[in-house]
């Protein structure tokens, strides 16, 4: 079902908060399930959360934005600060019922504001080949595909965007 959202302002949220934990679990459920081509098990989700924690998505090393509408958590986006004015975008996720309503773009726009405030001059991200919606989104908001800049085991495609 396509839904029309009013602009949602995402707020920095500590990854250990109940709302952040809930949306991050949804994120891992989605990416792990897509990777396996079936519904992810609780054990697989728990393992992914342990193997790729979100604890560093807090100031000053990063941040986690959580988007809400009337108390309902709809999505998230994270940023890790790296040396040299680089910011790594991570954990971009929108719940299925809010997809195609522009929330992914809103989250990325809000993340860019915070990135500038943190002195980030370039944002980078990696994604998987099967996450085609994400790739389309990144290209639509000015990210350029680039050469690999990490050796993450689940990364197939790399993007970057310079902030001016």
Residue 131 covered by a domain: no
Q: What is the mean predicted confidence (pLDDT) over 147-163?
A: 94
Read off the CATH number of the domain in which 101 is found.
3.40.630.30
CA of residue 128 relative to chain centroid, distance:
13
Beta pairing class for 11-12 and 157-162: unpaired
| Residue of 114, 106, 159, 162 lying closest to 136 (CA atoms) | 159
List pLDDT tens digits, range 29-87.
999 999 999 999 999 999 999 999 999 999 999 999 999 988 899 999 999 999 999 99
How far apart are the C-alpha atoms of 80 and 93, rounded to whole Å? 16
Q: Is the pLDDT of residue 1 over 50?
A: no
List pLDDT tens digits, range 118-152.
999 999 999 999 999 999 999 999 999 999 999 99
Q: Please report the pLDDT score of residue 5 as a whole number.
A: 56
| Residue of 123, 122, 131 lying closest to 154 (CA atoms) | 131
List pLDDT tens digits, range 92-104.
999 998 888 889 9
How far apart are the C-alpha atoms of 100 and 30, rounded to whole Å? 16
* Count: domains in the chain: 1
Q: Is the pLDDT of residue 16 over 80?
A: yes
| Residue of 19, 150, 163, 164 lying closest to 90 (CA atoms) | 150
Residue 136 covered by a domain: no
Q: Please report the pLDDT score of residue 44 as a whole number.
A: 97
Residue 148 covered by a domain: no
Residue 70 covered by a domain: yes
Banded model confidence at residue 8, pLDDT cuts 50, 70, 90: confident
Domain hosting 89: range is: 11-125
Cis bond before residue 77 (omega within 30° of 0)? no
In sequence order, what E strands does the chain have? 11-12, 62-69, 72-82, 86-94, 122-127, 144-146, 157-162
């Amino acid at each position: 079902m396509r839904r029309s959202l009013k602009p949602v302002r995402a707020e920095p949220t500590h990854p250990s908060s109940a709302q952040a934990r809930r949306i991050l679990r949804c994120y891992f459920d989605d990416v792990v399930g897509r990777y396996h081509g079936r519904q992810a098990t609780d054990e697989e989700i728990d393992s992914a959360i342990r193997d790729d924690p979100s604890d560093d998505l807090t100031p000053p090393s990063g941040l986690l934005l959580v988007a809400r509408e009337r108390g309902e958590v709809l999505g998230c986006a994270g940023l890790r600060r790296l040396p040299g004015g680089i910011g790594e975008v991570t954990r971009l996720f929108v719940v299925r019922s809010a997809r195609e309503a522009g929330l992914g773009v809103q989250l990325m726009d809000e993340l860019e504001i915070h990135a500038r405030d943190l002195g980030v001059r370039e944002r980078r991200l990696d994604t998987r080949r099967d996450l085609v919606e994400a790739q389309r989104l990144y290209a639509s908001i000015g990210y350029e595909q680039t050469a690999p800049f990490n050796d993450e085991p689940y990364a197939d495609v790399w993007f970057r965007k310079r902030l001016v």
